[in-house]
Amino acid sequence: MMNEMMNEVLNEMPDVRIHCEICGDDFEPIIKMQADGEIETGYLKCPHCGTIYIICVTDAELRKKMMEYRKLYLRNCKKRLPERKLRQMQKMLDANVKRCNELIEQHPFVRAEDTEDGMQSD
């Protein structure tokens, strides 16, 4: 669900390229997801050097709130909204970003293929 939503957003931005800060390669963003229980991590991986760029970390509640925001945005993006509604939407977005950043701090990312047994460690 989350991977589809993020890739849908990328599809709305044609010709987007990511510049790797490590090797300098430019690459097309392909969002990968990894789940560890309720926690899902979205990331990009440089195909040249393998550098990982974390995009978001979500839990079930945040994913629900992100979907609510996206539905509200899609329903209203072509309308001229009153200032109050715009502030409400911005507040929702800010809260989602804040929670995502908290989750990034709380859940360090370990790729399953980087552990000895191929499973994510605690």
- pLDDT attached to residue 121: 36
Segment holding 43, helix H or strand E: strand 39-45
Count of CB atoms within 10 A of residue 44's CB? 19
User: What is the Cα–Cα distance from 22 to 105, expressed in whole angstroms?
Assistant: 22
Residues 8-32: pLDDT tens digits?
Answer: 665 666 678 899 999 999 998 888 8
Structure tokens at 108: 């360090």
Q: Please tell me the pTM assigned to this model.
A: 0.73
In terms of DSSP bridges, do strands 39-45 and 52-58 run parallel, antiparallel, or are they unpaired?
antiparallel
**The pLDDT of residue 110:** 67
Q: Where are the domains of the chain?
A: 2-108
Please give the Cα distance from 71 to 19 (Å, whole number): 30
- What does DSSP assign to residue 85? H
Structure tokens at 53: 């760029």
